[in-house]
Structure 1
Amino acid sequence: MSSTGGEAGSTALAKAKKAHSEHRYRTASFKISPRKLNLLSRQVAGKPIDQAILQMEFSDKRAAGRIKSMLCTARDHAAVKGIRRERMVVSESWVNKVDALPRVDIKGRSRTGIKHHRYSRMHVVLKEGPTKEETLLKQRKKALKRALVSAGVVREDVPIRNPRPQWAW
């Protein structure tokens, strides 16, 4: 019986030591249009986590503070999972709609309509990726390689296509 308990303990220990390659996190649903939240989502996607937090800190949008705190919490949780903070990148970011609450829109002459109070939530996936310096170095190498390539060989023995019947001037 003690051997079974030992195996279960070792399996739990193995699961705890397993390295995580990514960390998913999301905000709670809050009152904001998905279109507006998607602008912030696209702003942080693909950036290193510290740069994404900095973007949210200086953003004038109302939801930026909530997104910033979500990114800080996600960064800390990912660090506990074993993802290195200096290599942490927001690899994916997307927005989901939550059911909109219908409300009465009072108009003139005894008429009414329906307003939709929209709610949404934002998801992020944090992974280890290249640092900013590595990305810059890769871009410089690519630009240098593109600059060194010649324009190609000019072939002068090819006949003229669609020759005109008259003089060209």
Structure 2
Amino acid sequence: MFTSIRCQLGLVSKSKSSIKNKRFIHQTSFLLQKQLKNSSTSSLFGDITEIDTEIKKKSNDFSDSLQSMNEKFDINKITLKNDEKLQEFIGHKPTSAVDKLLTPLKKQLYEANVASNGFFKNNQIITLNGEQYKLKLTREEIDVLEPSLYVKSYRIKSSVKKATIFLRFIRNMNVKQAITQGQFHSKKIGREVSQLLSDSLKSAPELNLNPNELYISQIWSGSDGSWVKRVDPKGRGRSGVIHHPYIHIRAILKTSITQKRLAWEKSQKEVERKPRFQLPNEKLRFKLDGHYKW
């Protein structure tokens, strides 16, 4: 049966060694070089496939346009407002949260309130252009108006449980004091947090914020992306999987204006609180009986 198949293919051989040593397909390097020279596309499959010349032209045009843009514009001077291509892609000009939530009159009243008191006092009467107004803002509107700095980190090799222990410790602390605590703290996450906060102080002058007055209003951590897995070998031929956790840290830094407002609101609550009595300050209108009845 096997000999008949080999006869049809023209590969009849009695010894196995001759079959092993035989090379069915063979092409020298000279023939390959000759084929590459003759083909127009300089590839082995040049006769089958052809490269589209239009794709080459488009790629060259795109690279030329990028070079012309670099010569025309300075990348360091491009911002969100003067980038025309970005504005066309967005479709509308981005508006700030202050413009969305507050009217121009409310912003004027807020600025007058801060100028007179040093910080914002809610439900206070303000005189503006010879008229009196009573401004009352919600918590969301106050957070938008007060200056703040949002900070975020990259992937950090740690867990949420370990990071939360240190983050609770530095919450409501001055930023420079928190950086010092992170450098000398026993937790490894402290150095990562101190590096994050020190980088945020560099961007504070760009937003007209005083780095000495910044404090940590909110700071939290969360799981970041996919975790790295590793095999955990165990006894008796078994194995498990170790997950290496990665987290990110987010923080909101605020100024002393917010601290003064919170202290004033706390004192106002104490003033408005009613006095507490251990017993009601009223006359007894019933007869007291003894504890034992027999």
State whether TM-score is above 0.5. yes
What CA deviation, in whole Å up to 9, does each residue of 1:104-157 have, x standing for no partner? 11000000111101111111111223588x59x769968x969xx563753232
User: What is the aligned partner in structure 2 of residue 65 from structure 1?
Assistant: 191
User: What is the aligned partner in structure 2 of residue 115 from structure 1?
Assistant: 242
1:51 aligns with 2:177: yes
1:105 aligns with 2:232: yes
* Residue from 249, 252, 257 that aligns with 1:125: 252
Residue 20 of structure 1, CA deviation: 8.3
Q: Any residues of structure 2 matched to 1:76-87 within 5 Å, and which? A: 76-87=202-213
Q: Which amino acid aligns with 2:281?
A: V
Q: Which amino acid aligns with 1:35?
A: K
* Greater strand proportion: 1
Residue 90 of structure 1, CA deviation: 1.2
Asked if structure 2 preserves the Cα contact closer than 8 Å seen for 1:95 and 1:122, the reply is yes
* Residue from 134, 145, 155 that aligns with 2:282: 155
1:42 aligns with 2:159: no
Helix, strand or coil at the partner of 2:194:
helix
Paired with 2:222 and 2:202, the residues of 1 have a C-alpha distance of 23
Paired with 1:90 and 1:162, the residues of 2 have a C-alpha distance of 59
Residue 32 of structure 1, CA deviation: 0.8
User: What is the aligned partner in structure 1 of residue 128 from structure 2?
Assistant: none
How high is the TM-score relative to the length of structure 1?
Answer: 0.69
Residue 159 of structure 1, CA deviation: 2.5
How high is the TM-score relative to the length of structure 2?
Answer: 0.42
Aligned-residue RMSD, C-alpha: 4.0
Helix, strand or coil at the partner of 1:155:
coil
Asked if structure 2 preserves the Cα contact closer than 8 Å seen for 1:49 and 1:88, the reply is yes
Change (3 A) 1:20 1:156: closer
Paired with 1:55 and 1:41, the residues of 2 have a C-alpha distance of 11
Paired with 2:185 and 2:252, the residues of 1 have a C-alpha distance of 21
Paired with 2:289 and 2:157, the residues of 1 have a C-alpha distance of 64
Structure 1 segments unaligned to the other structure (5+ residues): 1-10, 13-18
Greater C-alpha radius of gyration: 2
User: What is the aligned partner in structure 1 of residue 123 from structure 2?
Assistant: none
Helix, strand or coil at the partner of 2:235:
coil
Q: Which amino acid aligns with 1:78?
A: A
Paired with 1:87 and 1:51, the residues of 2 have a C-alpha distance of 11
Asked if structure 2 preserves the Cα contact closer than 8 Å seen for 1:20 and 1:81, the reply is no
> Which structure has more RCO (C-alpha within 8 Å, separation ≥ 6)?
1
Helix, strand or coil at the partner of 2:227:
strand
User: What is the aligned partner in structure 1 of residue 215 from structure 2?
Assistant: 89
Asked if structure 1 preserves the Cα contact closer than 8 Å seen for 2:229 and 2:242, the reply is yes
How many residues in Structure 1 have an aligned counterpart in Structure 2?
A: 153
Paired with 2:180 and 2:289, the residues of 1 have a C-alpha distance of 59
Residue 101 of structure 1, CA deviation: 1.2
Moved more, 152-161 or 107-116: 152-161
Percent identity over the alignment?
20
Q: Which amino acid aligns with 1:93?
A: I
Paired with 1:58 and 1:157, the residues of 2 have a C-alpha distance of 63
